[in-house]
Amino acid sequence: MKKILFMSLALLLAKPNLAIADCFLATESNKIIKQNGDCKSRHTPCSTFKIAISLMGYDEGILIDETHPELPFKEGYVDYVESWKHPQTPTSWMKNSCVWYSQITTQKLGIKKFSDFLQKFNYGNHDTSGDVGKNNGLTESWLGSSLQISPQEQVTFLQKLLDNKLPVSVKAQEMTKNILFVEDLSDCWKLYGKTGSCDSTDSDAQTGWFVGWIQKESRIIIFADYLEDEKKLSYSGGKQAKEQARRELMTLIQPNSQ
């Protein structure tokens, strides 16, 4: 009996802690240069959806440039992140991933324009209904709710953005690209992108995204990294996805990697 219990315990301890879902996808010149995992399944976009909201906001004149409008924080806004308790500009909104700035922008758009944009963008499943029976699609649909998109679709969407081929003004696309700048990498590469973290639509798991591109002169690599873990992570899924994506990207830009 003791031997059986010991063997069972050993098997449990030996079981790898695998993510429920995982994908890294990178393309260059419209060709896949690296792909790991399931990149076709759709998931809640979380704060990566701010890229789409930015395009809508700039196209409609709700957003003006990188620093305007600056909106004040008000009591009652979503405030569980300390940096959100301060005034936000388009640049800080994207950097801090501020939920209430997104929600103000989508509410100014209204549900018809909001839905129309998603149809024109061909963004994921286009579903703006939100949580069942709550009529909150305008402010919650992308946060672990009805709207879903795959890593593959994220990359296609970003390719259109970089080609200025989305159905919005060139200004809207250029401004959005500007506020997505993250950091300078080695050897003159620049990193642009957006993280996303929220709970899975199908389980209690935590999801993480990092989507964007790296650029050096005329060379551009577009990527999407998605992960989903059975347990709550010690830090946000978006940060973990960003670290994972950076490791993958660095292998692609090392000398002799191509």
Angle at 196 between CA 183 and CA 72, to 5 degrees: 80
Query: Catalytic one among 47, 92, 102, 200?
Result: 47
CB 47 within 8 A of CB 237: no
213, 227 Cβ separation under 8 angstroms: no
Look-up of token digits 């324009």: 113
Q: Which amino acid, 125?
A: N
Sign of CA dihedral 26, 31, 36, 39: positive
Q: Running DSSP on this structure, what letter comes out for residue 171?
A: H
Judged by DSSP in three states, 167 sits in coil
- Whether a cis peptide bond, with omega within 30° of 0, leads into 69 is yes
- CA-to-CA dists, residue 168 to 109, 120, 127, 139, angstroms: 14, 9, 20, 21
Q: Are 240 and 228 in contact (CB under 8 A)?
A: no
Angle at 50 between CA 29 and CA 82, to 5 degrees: 130
CA 219 to chain centre: 22
The yes-or-no answer on residue 47 being catalytic is yes
Q: How far is CA 175 from CA 106, 158, 188, 193, 222, in A?
A: 17, 14, 22, 13, 18
Active site residues: 47
